[in-house]
Amino acid sequence: MLDVRNLNKTYSGRNRTVEALRDITFSLDAGELVCLVGPSGCGKTTLLKCMSGLLDPTGGEVRLQGKPITGPPPGMAVVFQEYGRSLFAWMTVFDNVALPLRRKKLGKARLAEVVGHALEVVGLGDAHHAYPWQLSGGMQQRVAIARAVAYEPQVLLMDEPFAAVDAQTRADLEDLVRRLWRELGVTVLFVTHDIDEAVYLGQRTIILSKSPTVIQEDLRIDLPDERDQLHTRSSPHFAELRAHVYEQIQRAKLGGPEHAVPVG
Ligand code: ADP
């Protein structure tokens, strides 16, 4: 579904050059849910921007279903951390969700149906006429997720979407992402700096080294498909995976793949 090949990105300014990504190669199969975790400043956002066509890489390429990405591709939606800035304060919840659908030129009735359904599945069926500033942070992030869902993307990229909400809301939103992923069959790449979240959510966790960034490890998360906050997080295997990812991140902070340890 999505191929990242030998991607590198160097920011060149007048006074300073930053090699943010050195050589990143990985793929996502259709329908996978993969987490990407790494120390702060390791280039997670840079990678996501290159993958969504918002930023040109310095070298290498990203392909969506075999086609090179050169600008924002129609089959992809992105949810950012800063929901406050991604929603329009003067538009109702309904209009915020409907906005990207204008490209699809649906009829009025069909539009209402698609938006209504998206708001329903994120638990905001009664908030159509509210404005974003009347909602809590968690509810605003649900609106941003509904907007992505309504668009019916093949690939959903999420950049630390729950970093700014409280722990309880975060747990609810994690379960929402897992439920939507299973119901919609969408391919998800979820970026986080939270180790527990990286283990709880996905089928794989890709661990990045510190900058200049390479992939430190691509770890299969072999937890059962049925997960819940209480039992999954208290299982011995969850603790093992968590400890392993923690160790890898500590090594990642030292830098370079030579610090990686084998799985097992
Ligand atoms: P993360 O999302 O993992 O915190 P970023 O992708 O935001 O990391 O940043 C990776 C590196 O690239 C950092 O050293 C950051 O300072 C640098 N960087 C990010 N954006 C720019 C930019 N527009 N110009 C110059 N350097 C940048």
Q: Same domain for 7 and 112?
A: no
Same domain, 55 and 12: yes
Mind listing the pLDDT tens digit for each residue in 208-263?
A: 988 788 899 999 999 999 999 999 999 999 999 999 999 999 888 876 555 554 44
- Spatial distance between the Cα atoms of 260 and 252, rounded to a whole number of angstroms: 7
Classify residue 129 as left (phi > 0), alpha (psi -120 to 50) or beta. Answer: alpha
Q: How confident is the model at residue 163 (pLDDT cuts 50, 70, 90)?
A: confident
For residue 117, the CA-to-ligand 1 centroid distance in Å is 37
Element housing 250 (H / E): helix 236-254
- The residue among 122, 152, 182 that closes a domain is 152
Q: Could you tell me if 177 and 49 lie in one domain?
A: yes
Percent of the chain surpassing pLDDT 90:
62
Asked if residue 182 belongs to a domain, the reply is: yes
With respect to residue 81, please indicate whether it lies within any of the assigned structural domains. no
User: Do both 137 and 159 map to the same domain?
Assistant: no
At 233 the pLDDT is: 94
Residue 255's pLDDT is what? 61
Instruction: Examine the domain organization and report whether 160 and 136 are in the same domain.
Output: no
Q: 72 pLDDT band (50/70/90 cuts)?
A: confident
138 and 159, same domain (yes or no): no
The per-residue b/e assignment along 9-31, b for 16 or more CB within 10 angstroms, e otherwise, is beeeeeeeeeebbbebebebeee
Is 80 within the bounds of a domain? no
Ligand 1, atom 13: nearest CA belongs to which residue? 41
Q: How far apart are CA 194 and CA 260, in angstroms?
A: 19
Does the pLDDT at position 90 exceed 60?
yes
DSSP for 176-240, written as a single string: HHHHHHHHH--EEEEEES-HHHHHHH-SEEEEE-SSSEEEEEEEE----SS--HHHHHTSHHHHH
- 42 shares a domain with 158: yes
Kindly state whether residues 111 and 226 are assigned to the same domain: no
Structure confidence by residue, pLDDT tens digits, 123-132:
899 999 999 9
The answer, yes or no, to whether any atom of ligand 1 lies below 6 A from the CB of 189, is no
Given a contact cutoff of 8 angstroms between Cβ atoms, the answer to whether 165 and 137 are in contact is yes
Q: Taking Cα atoms as reference points, which of 163, 237, 152, 153 lies closest to residue 200?
A: 237
Q: How far apart are CA 217 and CA 249, in angstroms?
A: 10
1-15, 31-45, 72-86, 123-137: segment of lowest average pLDDT: 72-86
pLDDT at 264: 41
pLDDT digits (tens, 9 = 90+) for 103-156: 888 889 999 999 999 999 888 999 999 999 999 888 998 999 999 989 889 999
User: Pick from 242, 220, 78, 254: which is nearest to 155 by CA?
Assistant: 78
Pull the structure tokens for residue 92: 């109702």
Is 197 inside any structural domain?
yes
Check residue 88 and give its pLDDT. 92
CATH at 219: 3.40.50.300
264 part of a folded domain: no
> Of 7 and 213, which is predicted with more confidence?
7
What's the pLDDT at 95? 96
Provide CB contacts within 8 A for 131, sequence distance 6+.
89, 90, 91, 92, 93
Q: Which of 124, 152, 180 is the last residue of a domain?
A: 152
Of ligand 1's listed atoms, the one at least distance from the Cα of 38 is: 3
243 shares a domain with 178: yes
Ligand 1 centroid to Cα of residue 43, in Å, is 6
H helices then E strands: how many in the chain?
Answer: 9, 10
The pLDDT confidence band at residue 201, using thresholds 50, 70 and 90, is very high
Same domain, 48 and 168: yes
Query: Which residue's CA is the nearest one to ligand 1's atom 19?
Result: 46
Listed residues 121, 152, 183: the one ending a domain: 152
* Domains held by the chain: number: 2
Whether ligand 1 lies within 6 angstroms of the CB of 54 is answered as: no
Q: CB neighbours (10 Å) of residue 112? A: 14
**Buried b vs exposed e over 176-210: b needs ≥16 C-beta within 10 Å?**
bbbebbeebebbbbbbbbbbbbbbbbbbbbbbbbb
pLDDT of residue 263: 46
Phi-psi region of 213 (alpha: psi -120 to 50; beta: other; left: phi over 0): beta
What global pTM score does this model have? Answer: 0.89
Name the phi and psi angles at 107, rounded to 5: -70, 165
User: 12 in ligand 1 pocket by Cβ < 6 Å?
Assistant: no
Residues 167 and 43 in one domain: yes
The share of the chain scoring above pLDDT 70, in percent, equals: 96
Ligand 1 pocket test: pick from 11, 21, 211 the residue with the most ligand atoms within 8 Å of its Cβ: 11
Ligand 1 centre from 11 Cα, in Å? 8
> Residue 40's pLDDT is what?
83
My answer on whether 47 and 162 are in the same domain is yes
Least confident of 1-5, 58-62, 162-166: 162-166
Going by alpha carbons, the residue nearest to atom 1 of ligand 1 is 41
Whether residue 175 lies inside any domain: the answer is yes
- Per the structure, the complete domain to which residue 129 belongs is given by 86-152
Residue having the nearest C-alpha atom to atom 27 of ligand 1: 11
